[in-house]
Amino acid sequence: MADRDLEADLKATLAARRELGAEYEAVLARSFVEKLDHEVDARVEEALSARAARLRTPPVARRRARGGTGLAVSSIALGIPVSAVVASNLHGSDSLVGVVVAWAAIAVINVVNARERRAP
């Protein structure tokens, strides 16, 4: 029921009260309040259903909506100390290979995450 319907019901209730007299006032008022109560219940139910639908959104969709900047920044922030540890524990050309492997792993994680976000 729309606001116009409620307004029309109120006008009809007031017109009926004028025609029927004061002895029907309580019955007419109760009838209008019941209609109003049903309308309020319907609107509350609609709002709750919309909220429940938003809450049922899968976590992947919510993650996709937020973007992947956090993972990218975290990868860089954690990649630097990982590079330092790998380079200090390996010697010669092995240290370069270790750093490249560490950053390749970080890149793969970011690429997989980005593809997961784009997937329907």
Write down the domain spans for the chain. 3-55, 63-118
Torsion of CA 84, 87, 88, 94, to 10 degrees: 170
- Residues in contact with 75: Cβ distance below 8 Å, sequence separation at least 6, in sequence order: 106, 109, 110
Instruction: For residues 66 and 33, give the distance between their C-alpha atoms in angstroms, rounded to a whole number.
Output: 44
For the segment 58-115, what is each residue's pLDDT rounded down to a tens digit? 665 555 555 667 888 888 888 888 888 888 888 888 888 888 888 899 898 888 888 8
Tokens in use for 86?
């790998």
For the segment 22-68, what is each residue's pLDDT rounded down to a tens digit? 898 889 888 988 888 888 888 899 998 888 887 776 665 555 555 66
pTM of the prediction? 0.44
Phi, psi of 98 (to 5 degrees): -60, -45
